[in-house]
A and B are shown apart, each in its own frame.
Chain A
Amino acid sequence: MVTTSIAVENVTVAYHDRVALYRASLAIRSGTICGLVGMNGAGKSTLLKAIMGFVRPLEGRVLVQGLPVGAAQKRNLIAYVPQAEEVDWQFPVTVFDVVMMGRYGRMNWLRLPSKVDYTLVQTALTEVEMGKLQDRPIAELSGGQRKRAFLARALAQQAQIFLLDEPFAAVDITTEKLIIDRLLQLRQAGHTVLVSTHDLSSIKTFCDQVVLINRSILAYGDVETVFTPENLCRTFGNHFCQYQEGK
């Protein structure tokens, strides 16, 4: 049976009077990795935020495992990894503290971690190869290490669905490969992943499906059928087309 993890139905989002996303519709299948591709300002982050309920759509709706997103969040169904710029890196917390925050939703209201919580945090840290750095203040991490810490937090959350906003921006090859491996592992375990990126070269290596976006959804479907030079040309505009022809 094919089930839909994330259903986006006719969603329009505007910031003040500027429409950033126009009538987007998607149905992301469970147990797949879906790449979200578009240039800067195309509305990738906006789409992810609309799915998370962080921006209110002018029209349309989003269902996560058939639930409104608020209910899905209360059940810890979604893990969201934002673009790194969005937190204060001078904050006095360690890598371990950050990853433990992934468990808060599963703790009682005093947020006292149990043995299970500690174990899962350790596992998550090991999976992103950050075990040795667990007691470092986050202010002392490199860009790649920051991304890993946030990925570990999402892993520790043990959600069904993972949304990642530009996890490959400004990371080195090793970290990129590590992140991709974790995503493949998640898919193996039956999780659904939606990941925004503008790194086109790696899409074919790990995505099952791809969404091409430029203020509205231009194309959506399996990588083989959708990820074509013509479609990419429509997504990225003239420069990209000329570059492709040149090659």
Chain B
Amino acid sequence: MFWQWLTAPWQYEFMVRAILLSVVVGLVCGALSCYMVLRGWALMGDAISHAVLPGVILAHVLNLPLALGAFVFGVGSVLTIGFVESQTRIKEDTVIGIVFTGFFALGLVLLSKVKSTIDLTHILFGNVLGISNTDIYQTVISSVVTLTILFLRQRDFLLFCFDPTHARSIGINTNLFHYLLLSLLSLTAVAGLQAVGIILVVAMLITPGATAYLLTDRFDRMLGLAMGLGAAAAIVGNYVSFYLDVATGGCIVLVQTLLFGLAVFFAPKHGILARKFWAKIDL
């Protein structure tokens, strides 16, 4: 009975693809989310995931890989933000807000011109059930590239987030890692976009890291946990969406939010209950 419940979705090819793709996306977004959370880049994640929209549309029209278009516009938005911030007195969060909405608006305008070929709802809310083979290959390739770079240079990224001053003082080029991390973010935003849509990508890019951060004080464990949470939410989200016939992207993100909520209350050391408990003991 339970076995049947468990295996039923796997009999449909579209479900197999959806689950596998969202697990890959969950893993890579989970890994990246740790750096976003520790670096305080939640807003930056939100910005980039929106700013890639015109790139995705242009790439679609020109028949180029979506990741390429997203990469160009993601990095473009970051450079624009950096430029305006360094040249004016406007604060970073304001600049981010202006630039990303501007890019997003450009995307919407472009989209209205090419409406016939792209479905807006797929971009906004994801289309993991109807994803094409090409999209799957592209997502897998960009995810493998991102994960490889993140793992090989794990310690540099960690140091860059924790203490960029020390990184510079031992001759590490922190600018390189700054832009490398933002480039990986742009690549991953496209992957996440296909799974849960442009509006919810930012959740994939911060929630698992935030949950893991509540659960441990060790970076390597945080990384493993966040990836695990990302993948688990992808699987559970797909099942829920299959049986209740509701939006897959929304389900995946909702599962992540629930897990975060649980951690807020029940995390062993940093949860609300644990802190109440220890406060009592201390008395």
Contact = CB atoms under 8 A, between A and B. Distances in A.
Asked whether A and B interact, the reply is: yes
Interface in A146-181: 153, 157
Contact of B169 (A52, A88, A97, A139): A52
Contacts of A52: 168-169
Q: What secondary structure prevails in chain A residues at the interface with B? A: mixed
Interface in B157-183: 158-159, 161-163, 165-172
Contact of B162 (A79, A82, A91): A91
Interface in B209-235: 213, 216-219, 221-222
A104 B216 contact: no
B162 A76 contact: no
Contact of A101 (B163, B171, B218): B163
A110 B151 CA distance: 9
Nearest to A70: B171
B159 A101 contact: yes
B274 to A, nearest CB: 14
Interface string B173-202: 000000000000000000000000000000
A25 to B, nearest CB: 23
B59 interface: no
A4 interface: no
Contacts of A153: 166
B155 A111 contact: yes
Given A87-B162, A101-B159, A92 B170 contact: no
Contacts of A122: none
B171 A88 contact: no
A104 B163 contact: no
Contact of A97 (B167, B172, B213, B219): B219
B152 interface: yes
A50 to B, nearest CB: 13
B171 A92 contact: no
Given A110-B152, A111-B155, A93 B170 contact: no
B172 A54 contact: no
Nearest to B37: A92
Contact-residue bracket for chain A: 20 to 34
Contact of B216 (A80, A82, A92): A92
A86 B169 contact: no
A73 B219 contact: no
B156 interface: yes
A110 B161 CA distance: 17
Nearest to B223: A92
A87 B219 contact: no
A92 B213 contact: yes
Contact of B217 (A87, A92, A104, A157): A92
A79, A92, A157, most chain B CB atoms within 10 A: A92
Interface in A63-82: 70, 73-76, 78-80, 82
A139 B217 CA distance: 9
B38 interface: yes
A80 B38 contact: no
15 contacts: A52-B168, A73-B170, A74-B171, A76-B170, A78-B169, A82-B165, A87-B162, A87-B163, A92-B221, A93-B162, A93-B218, A101-B159, A105-B171, A111-B154, A137-B218
Interface of B: 38, 152-156, 158-159, 161-163, 165-172, 213, 216-219, 221-222
Interface of A: 52-54, 70, 73-76, 78-80, 82, 86-88, 91-94, 97, 101-102, 104-105, 109-111, 137, 139, 153, 157
Given A92-B218, A92-B219, 7 more contacts: A82-B165, A86-B165, A87-B162, A88-B162, A101-B159, A105-B172, A109-B153
